Amino acid sequence: MTVLFSAVAFNALHGAGTEKAQPQVGQAAPDFTLPSAEGPTVSLKDFKGKWVVLYFYPKDFTPGCTAEAHNFERDLAKYQNQSAIIVGVSADSAQSHKDFCAKEGLNFKLLADPQLKTIADYGSVMERNGFKMAARNTFLINPDGKIARVYLKVNPEVHSEEVLKDLVVLRKS
């Protein structure tokens, strides 16, 4: 029994069996319900009728993830002017997200996915140093809940500007 429990715990911690392909442009975005830094759960359906920038990132408080979050925060008013919501997801806990938002002055939603379910549903699981976590991928979801654009292995320094530029073009089409 101990061996079985250990194997189950190891697989859950390391996200075994979570590899899936990314949803493609035109497909329905996989729904999710995850705890937020503020406490209550958040679902994709909560944003029906709005554009959603769903970005996955590896870890709170790391240099690349902090830079990416700062850039989304810097551009937050521009996203709001485009009727878009920014939602970040990582395998960190809701408490870690709360601390990250407080320390870095972030005013958009960060969602916790420690079981890697939503991360896997979006084909965004990667392994680093023997642990599975979110890859730096983003999905732009249109107001009808369909994938409008997919960004893989993004550069955190310029990514927000890239998404914002595409969002403006897509809203006009």
At residue 19, the pLDDT reads 64
Exactly one of 65, 94, 125, 164 is catalytic; which is it?
65
pTM: 0.87
At residue 69, the pLDDT reads 94
Per-run averaged pLDDT (10 residues), the chain, 173 residues: 38 49 95 93 96 96 88 96 96 95 94 97 93 95 97 92 96 88
> Are 87 and 108 within 8 A, CB to CB?
yes
Domains of the chain plus CATH, in order, are 18-172 (3.40.30.10)
Which residues are within 8 A (CB) of 47 and not within 5 positions of it... i.e. 6 or more apart?
Answer: 85, 87, 141
At residue 164, the pLDDT reads 96
101 is catalytic: no
User: Dihedral of CA 75/79/85/90: which sign?
Assistant: negative
